[in-house]
Structure 1
Amino acid sequence: MQAGKRNLITDVEGLVVGNASDATIKTGVTVLTSNMAFTAGLQVMGGAPGTRESDLLAPDKTVQQVDALVLSGGSAFGLDAPSGVADAMRLQGRGFPVGDQIVPIVPGAILFDLLNGGDKSWSENPYKQLGAEALADASDLFDLGTVGAGTGATLASLKGGLGSASVVLPSGHTVGALVAVNALGDATVDDSHFWAAPFETDNEFGGLGVAQSYPRGLPRTKMASHAANTTIAIVATDAALDQSQCTRLATAAHDGMARALVPSHTPMDGDLIYGVSTGAKPLDNPALDTLWLGHAAATCLARAIARGVFHATPADKDTVPSYAYR
């Protein structure tokens, strides 16, 4: 399996990503959207999630498609970011029609980045504006690392960041991942070698290969600030999947999170993944195709997590070093 031409989630044709950051606060927002509504599911595996509109993503609910997905810093304050996106989309006439009204469907998830050295003394919640700015920035090309929802992200020993990766399957379907990495644990075995190294493509996060030895005891965690966690992600494909299949795609992708972050899915992480389908390409063999789509989603997400950490950059008042400047 080969990476797509951009090695970004936007290799899934029609999807675009926008980012907005505030360097003073050390936080930001990332938006995934498209010109057309798309099908989405959700799987939560962490013990401390924070979400908006998550219930409607269950396969038995009436609304089966969404207009955008939002990943945000700010903990509970960041749940305002989808409101900024929804307001802007409504002005554009995009959303679910209800009589003569338009209601944009914009689920969102948040991570905790309130203890990262940034100035959090705002007088007005900044996340609604950051959400609108991220939507306006949407493009098929975007930066990785210390940007968007990854701006203020941290791990146990290094900075986290925004990561993305893609793969094209032999069936012709494309799978991509987008993630804001902010875990209780670590993405590296020894500050150099990534846990995700076995899945690396074309030296995309340094090409160091696997570590020579792996720890036998308890892994490193940032327990001193045990509430300051959560890795939130989106996996997407152009394969035609319904909402239950999107949920299964997200479920399989959690394996990639566990391969790239140790420990993961802890009681103090709100780890969650959205599964997305644009529906552009039918499945030739549904049973076999969905198996390989799930495997690709897990592999892509593991790579995207490592790329987010690899591309992080230092900033004033950081509480931990970035990978490239450790």
Structure 2
Amino acid sequence: MRNLITDVPGVLVGNAQDMRAATGATVAIFEQGAIASLSTLGGAPGDRMATSLEPEMVGQAIDAVVLSGGSVYGLDAAGGASAVLCQRGQGRTFGGLAIPVAVQAILFDLINGGEKDWMREPVKHKPPYWDLGRDAALVAAHEFALGTAGAGVGATTAGLKGGLGSTSAKTSQGFTVGALVAVNAVGAATIGSGPHFWAGAYEQGDEFGGLGWPAKLPDDALKLRFKGQPLPVTATTIALVATDATLTKAECKRLAIMANDGLSKSLRPVHAPNDGDTVFAAATGKAGRGGDPPILTELGTVAADCLARAVARGVYEATALPFPGAVPDWKTKFGGGRR
């Protein structure tokens, strides 16, 4: 086990980034496709082909999930990823052509200090996201970087650098579950002004510092902290959970709903009016049936725990952007690991 979503058989992940623009994209590829759905609880989502994942829609299998920075510009990333998949012959066949399905969610990182010169007049450069999606798909593998990588490059949280996180776990029935998240939260992943993560109770080993929870919550633990105070700015945490269980589309919908609670376990506040918080859930079907209510209940619970851990890990592994006024990273601010 790598403690990555790629522990789920049939899942590969690639990152690509533009450090000058302080943005990037992450592509999760399902080698033989996957059944998928999603749960969107943020008030201002941005996505591509998300409606097709609702259980009543005709489409079933997807080939990739794309997480990207760039807000509306970032939606180009799925096009680049789709081009790679098409060249490989992956997707549904229509009229002799392979048509891949790459769904996508975006986060807002347009004002993080990077050079977004495609937004200035006259427009001399195209947004980089089609290329980033292509490049991320080309390097998709079992191993990939966390923290300030891929879609996590431009991500921030309230007071700390955000980033790309991933974890995995096994259920009691032997199914593998994994989570992948780009943490660009409007709220905070840590408790009050201290180093402890809200997700500390779910940590495995010392994957995000080994601090656990504080013996006593600090006085400022419940003080509301969010980006852009006194008024919150646009922010989004976007994620994918995956399992090797065999699930229907409706069962994936339930898995996504349950997994979305992982954001509530790890961030405060979450699902705000200006958030686009979205969680995809995918089943590769490499293992047995997982739709029986007790089994699906455990899958959803483990997925939520994995997602909570992945959020903390994404913040823990991040490094600050090299721009004036950039928010600090966790390791620099709090000095590393177990105390």
Q: Please indicate the TM-score interval, normalised by the length of the shorter structure.
A: over 0.9
Residue 328 of structure 2 is matched in structure 1 by 321
Please provide the CA RMSD for this pair. 1.3
Match of 1:135 among 134, 137, 157: 137
Q: In the alignment, is the contact (CA less than 8 A) between 1:112 and 1:227 conserved in 2?
A: no
Shift in Å, 1:216? 6.1
TM-score under structure 2 length normalisation: 0.92
Q: In the alignment, is the contact (CA less than 8 A) between 2:248 and 2:291 conserved in 1?
A: no
Q: In the alignment, is the contact (CA less than 8 A) between 1:11 and 1:166 conserved in 2?
A: yes
C-alpha deviations, 1:239-296, integer Å up to 9, x for none? 1111111111110011110010000000011001000000111137712100100100
Shift in Å, 1:145? 0.2
Shift in Å, 1:29? 0.3
Match of 1:286 among 289, 292, 295: 292
Q: In the alignment, is the contact (CA less than 8 A) between 1:180 and 1:232 conserved in 2?
A: yes
Match of 1:221 among 218, 226, 234: 226
C-alpha deviations, 1:94-127, integer Å up to 9, x for none? 1111122221111100000011111111321110
Q: Secondary structure at the match of 1:202?
A: coil
Separation of aligned partners in 2, 1:293 and 1:284: 8
Shift in Å, 1:140? 0.5
Separation of aligned partners in 2, 1:227 and 1:264: 13
> Which is worse superposed, 127-136 or 101-110?
101-110
Runs (4 or more) in structure 1 with deviation over 4 Å come to none
Residues 112/285 of structure 1: CA separation in 2 closer, same or farther (3 Å cut):
closer
Q: Does 1:21 align with 2:12?
A: no
Aligned residue pairs total 322
TM-score under structure 1 length normalisation: 0.96
Separation of aligned partners in 1, 2:261 and 2:112: 28
Residue 196 of structure 1 is matched in structure 2 by 199
Q: Does 1:37 align with 2:33?
A: yes
Match of 2:147 among 142, 145, 148: 145
Letter in 1 for 2:328: P
Q: In the alignment, is the contact (CA less than 8 A) between 1:191 and 1:323 conserved in 2?
A: no
Letter in 1 for 2:136: A
Aligned identity (percent) is 47
Letter in 2 for 1:323: W
Residue 112 of structure 2 is matched in structure 1 by 116
Separation of aligned partners in 2, 1:192 and 1:265: 23
> Which is worse superposed, 97-106 or 49-58?
97-106
Matches within 5 A, 1:82-93: 82-93=78-89
Structure 1 gaps, min length 5:
none
Residues 219/207 of structure 1: CA separation in 2 closer, same or farther (3 Å cut):
same
Residue 180 of structure 1 is matched in structure 2 by 182
Residue 166 of structure 2 is matched in structure 1 by 164
Q: Secondary structure at the match of 2:117?
A: coil
Q: In the alignment, is the contact (CA less than 8 A) between 1:154 and 1:183 conserved in 2?
A: yes
Q: Does 1:95 align with 2:91?
A: yes
Q: In the alignment, is the contact (CA less than 8 A) between 2:227 and 2:233 conserved in 1?
A: no
Residues 248/284 of structure 1: CA separation in 2 closer, same or farther (3 Å cut):
closer
Residue 57 of structure 1 is matched in structure 2 by 53
Q: Does 1:9 align with 2:5?
A: yes
Separation of aligned partners in 2, 1:119 and 1:105: 31
Letter in 2 for 1:182: N
